[in-house]
Amino acid sequence: MGVSELDQKKMEAIHYELSQLLKGEDARAAKQLVADLHPVDAAKITASLREEERLTLFQMLNRGMAADIVERMSDNVQVDVVSALHPEVASDIIEQMDSDDAADVLGDLPKEKTDAILAAMPRTRAAQTRRLIAYPEDTAGGIMATEFVALKESLTVNQGVKTLREKYSRVGDERAAYVYTLDAKGRLSGVLQLRDLVTRQSQELLQNIKITNITSLEVTTNKYEVAQVFRRNRYLALPVVDHAKRLVGVITGDDVVELIQEITTEEMMKLQGVSTDETRSLPVFKIVRRRVSWLSINIFLNLIAASVIMFYTDTIKAVIALAVFLPIISDMSGVSGMQAVAVSIRDLALERTSHKDLWKVLWKEARIGFFNGLILGAEIGLVAYLWKGLQYFGVVVAISLWLNTILSVCLGSVLPLILKRFRLDPAIASGPLLTTVTDLMGFLIILSLATKLLPLLT
């Protein structure tokens, strides 16, 4: 089957058929049904099975097929599946997975379960996996895999080709895109081009044909820097070294694609005040405790904005229609501001901008806010005029949205840069600050304008 995924109707039909086969303990037919699926589809269908059905299926499948399925499941489903398996079965599956994927799964399990699975694994692989788990997940060490091709630079070309053939099948195409050389102390000394291994004299030493100008990452490099290095240079893979410059792993382009998706998701969740590790599988009260702190802060900030209304109660009583447009103006301006926030946070993450570019960013966004606010203001002003039949009422609404849009876009564009300058997380802090100021100024602008023009609005 191709890489395209099945539609929902076919997924449900296969899910039902697989459930029936598992109930009848028809191992051969169940294995064949899963084998005919693309691993992505197999992972989705398997994840939707009941726990006892999943356990039965994984007992039937060969370990390689089971590993392919587990690798493509979401993190929380992986934890549920592997936790429920017997440690020996789980260890067999984990062994078949790429080292970085295996470490990610085990790192999310309870410690006692992880220890039990590692104890059932061969000693060398278990020690390697423990080292990977020990690296913080937001560093190059926590992202890298330990499958790579490295040759001693003292080898001849003929010996290097022979060793490469032996290692290639265990590493895979992508991680064998580059062949690295090591000095006598195991330190990264260069990289080889495959064409040189093919065209050079068989007795020539690798140290004479290696390329020494090579980019590498430290195990402690944070994930944002990792993404930046790949974005700037478009490498297929990069070596990762420890403090002694020993080669310990490789990060591939596929790893970075997943990393960028993860970073994007994290930033989006931070903007909404949601913890990046929150899943539906967490206990209800743990989720409540995490979310309510954010919501409580927003109550306080919204009270500040709403306090403006208290000073203009007479105006609102005189022109009750204003109450209809207050939330529209604050919401529309807030959306415009959040667009600017999102662009600034992305540019900060990709190192396309910094606090030094504040005035340049502000000038660009001010012009955008001017024209967007002009268009949106004219639209909502026309609606206000047609509804009430009062020309000046439409003008007040239009000008309010126009001015507040300019303000919110300008603030949204520079706020992340200012917060970053003071080492604060712009994704977490920008949202509530922008919302508060947008609401506050939106209410203030429309109500103060309406108060000035009150005789023309009644």
Question: Mean pLDDT across the stretch 134-144?
Answer: 92
| Tens-digit pLDDT profile for residues 243-268 | 999 999 999 888 888 888 777 777 66
Asked whether the domain spanning 284-457 has the same topology as the one spanning 149-268, the reply is no
Would you place residue 3 in the very low, low, confident or very high pLDDT band (cuts 50, 70, 90)? very low
Average pLDDT for 150-175: 81
Give the tens place of pLDDT for each residue, 325-367: 999 998 999 889 888 988 888 788 766 788 888 999 999 999 9
pTM above 0.85, yes or no: no
The pLDDT-based confidence of 183 (bands split at 50, 70, 90) is very high
Q: What percent of the chain has pLDDT over 70?
A: 90
CATH class entry, domain 8-134: mainly alpha
The verdict on domain 149-268 having CATH code 3.30.505.10 is no
Higher pLDDT, 298 or 147: 147
Using a pLDDT cut of 90, give the percent of the chain over it.
36
Instruction: Supply the pLDDT for residue 4.
Output: 46
pLDDT band at 2 (very low <50, low <70, confident <90, very high): very low
Domain ranges of the chain: 8-134, 149-268, 284-457
**Taking 50 as the threshold, does the pLDDT of residue 386 lie above it?**
yes
Looking at the domain that runs over 284-457, which CATH code has it been given? 1.10.357.20
Mean pLDDT for the stretch of residues 91-118: 91
Mean pLDDT, to the nearest integer, of 40-59? 87
- Between 169 and 111, the higher pLDDT residue: 111
Per mean pLDDT, which range of 7-16, 220-229, 299-308 is the poorest?
Answer: 299-308
In SS3 terms, the chain reads as CCCCCCCHHHHHHHHHHHHHHHHCCCHHHHHHHHHCCCHHHHHHHHHCCCHHHHHHHHHHCCHHHHHHHHHCCCHHHHHHHHHHCCHHHHHHHHHHCCHHHHHHHHHHCCHHHHHHHHHHCCHHHHHHHHHHHHCCCCEHHHHCECCCEEEECCCEHHHHHHHHHHHHHHHCCHHHCCEEEECCCCEEEEEECHHHHHHCCCCCEHHHCCECCCCCEECCCEHHHHHHHHHHHCCCEEEEECCCCEEEEEEEHHHHHHHHHHHHHHHHHHHCCCCCCCCCCCCHHHHHHHHHHHHHHHHHHHHHHHHHHHCCHHHHHHCCCHHHHHHHHHHHHHHHHHHHHHHHHHHHHCCCCCHHHHHHHHHHHHHHHHHHHHHHHHHHHHHHHHHHCCHHHHHHHHHHHHHHHHHHHHHHHHHHHHHHHCCCCHHHHHHHHHHHHHHHHHHHHHHHHHHHCHHHHC
Work out the pLDDT band at 293, boundaries 50, 70, 90.
low
